[in-house]
Structure 1
Amino acid sequence: MTRSQVRILARPPEFFPSLSKEGLGEILKMLKYNPNLKDYSQKLRREMTESERKIWFKIRKRQIKGFLFFRQKPIGNHIVDFYCPKARLIIEIDGGQHYEADNEIADKKRDLELKGLGFQVIRFTNLEISNNIENVLENIYKILPNPPLFKGGNLNS
């Protein structure tokens, strides 16, 4: 697989289609993170890169299949670029520094840790976002599960 293709590095164990807002809130409360990262994650939200901003304005407010995303979310000892709790999906945007040998190793280790927590991690490069954001969005769309067609249990009621 080439770097210009999306790399699916981990698969979540399941999708939670039946979660209410309360259930989603419970998942977010249970999501453990290093409290020392909170201030830095807020700073990162205020100072997004151009590529992060481009993706954020396309995925925020449930624009893809109705899924809610968070940006610069602390998870464990990491801050992930974008996080979708219902699909347990993490989207990472990689600039040039990610292709230095030490950073590639660190990214692989981080992805394995997140996979161990049950997350799916996908990565896109700044170049992919700049040159073909529609393809990036299409890949995200394909990875997200289809939401239920209706809520409730009975078509006849």
Structure 2
Amino acid sequence: MDEAVTEGTARRWRVPVAVALVKFALAAVLVVATVTVARDLVSALLGLLVAVGLGLSGLRDVLMPVRLEADGEGVTVLTGLPGRRKHYPWAKIERIRLDQRRRLLGRSTMLEIDADSDLYFLTQYELGAPPAQVVEELAALRTGR
């Protein structure tokens, strides 16, 4: 499931197409379930609102799939719903590490980037690669090895 792309010395990590397709499929199932099962207006509106949110999230994954780019100069991160790109030179990157936490039924592992006064968390589903692998590749790009 490695969706990273190499262009020269630059690397890009992107959302796999399968993730967007799953979001679209879940949104469609939720719409059908809401229309057939909802017994009142409030539950119908809530179900449709969640389905629209899933659909918009899938659409963002298709239109702006690259979540992280890095090269010898620094790191560029996709931020916010409109998909603005924010570039940080390596000198502004304070820390790149794995954020591992215990959740209800397991562990979650995310890539944490602490840049300037901003903090970013990226999951494997956003990167298309295991966060531990991305941390290693970012370290190599940062040091030029």
Max Rg structure: 2
Structure possessing the higher relative contact order (Cα contacts under 8 Å, 6 or more residues apart):
1
Q: TM class by shorter-chain length?
A: under 0.3
TM-score, with length taken from structure 2 = 0.24
The structure where strand makes up a greater share of residues is 2
